[in-house]
Structure 1
């Protein structure tokens, strides 16, 4: 994308009259193969070199034609329309076929979040709907001028799609490469910030034979952020944020905390509520306290607190303070 943008700027602002150097570039033929390549990476599959070369063959062929187009004024004069029809027609075919493949492919792993890909695929399909009438216009009436505006629209839209995928992949990389945090067995995560003052040798960690080290690392780090104190927090949200199957997260909670996801999260929320109830001056209502601890209603807060502590929140406060 940077090369494409640089070409457009150079040959419209610095070397006017040579816009064809940018508009004839075949870089659009790489968008589909790169989308396919990233999808395979997320599936955890490697791509054979011969298969990768096959997907990028139209681009390599386009590069050869592009060199001939630039080096021969006669070729440009006689075959410019045909060149643009073939080039942009091939881009349209690529931009339609690869999104269809990604959307219809059999998902062999649940660790794929197609959200960001859907946005990019929508961009590709919109560009195709714009390009097809343009190709037809060239084919039917001949090209009156170089398709500069087409290049601007294509590059601008694709830059948006590329940026979306870039930030998505960067987020995954940061999660995977983050340092391994300590996981405490059956301990409320609201107390995990105390680990900084304790010796790691004194903390008993539990290994997860059925959960990969990468998932263990990502889940533990995520829990240390204490996002479960948000009333809208759910297992589905955690799975989506981490790109980890819900089944792995449930297994993690079952093995590490024994009580499972829902009961463990509610237990940590109650632990935070107990800390807040110990304040000398309680300057919030029970409903406000419930939301601050992650419960979405006062009734849910009272029910879970009673199950955990055997009394109401106010009775707990009076008992402890007395």
Structure 2
């Protein structure tokens, strides 16, 4: 029998291997992923990464599960051996912290990959694509209407901001039915940012985290409630999620009421939002914001309520409220 198998064109196939991760890098990454392939290790890593002190004592970590002290020490040693953790003995206890070289990787794991991995919302790709095909005309109409209304601003600028705002939101949107009103709100805020005179208005605080679906939304809601209008708080995300996490939405309802909670939505981080802020606070997620002269920057290592137990969510809320109250005092006194 004659073999009629057709071999693929060598020239067409050859370049693909050149884009693969290198062997040494793959070995290192695989080792790190293997060290993380245990639920207790992930919980301990999360506890360390979000501890307000920047480190955790082994005695605190032992409370995460009903296991023996040697078992806890074993798991921590695994993470330490792969370079994720560093340790320091003080008296009878050992303290652990994320090594500086691994902080961004840990933040990406806990704030982007983990929430996406546990999400049970199915992707309705075909229905979404069909809805988006009908959206362009509506965006164009919205841009024209806003340009007519805001006649004191450059018309081309208004139209461009509306289209950019829509593009920023649509990347993460799974449900398209609210995209036009959300685009209008986001565009209006961006145009206000462009024209804001920092000296003339009340202080503005911008809270930033990766998905803008959890702690940054919660911090902004608490500050707006506690300030009574003396400070304006907003939030944004470097890689915004499609919606606010249900755990957080229930907290927003308690804080601000049903109407305000329903209108909360993840928003992309923009340079204009940073420029308009008096204070920018990242939520311990490894985000890097543009450095704008005159803007005050802080980083709060806060836990992620999207991944926490009900008790953990309550503790995170209380921790953020304590920080918000201190911030409010510094801004209004």
TM-score, length basis structure 1: 0.22
TM-score, length basis structure 2: 0.22
* CA radius of gyration, larger in: 1
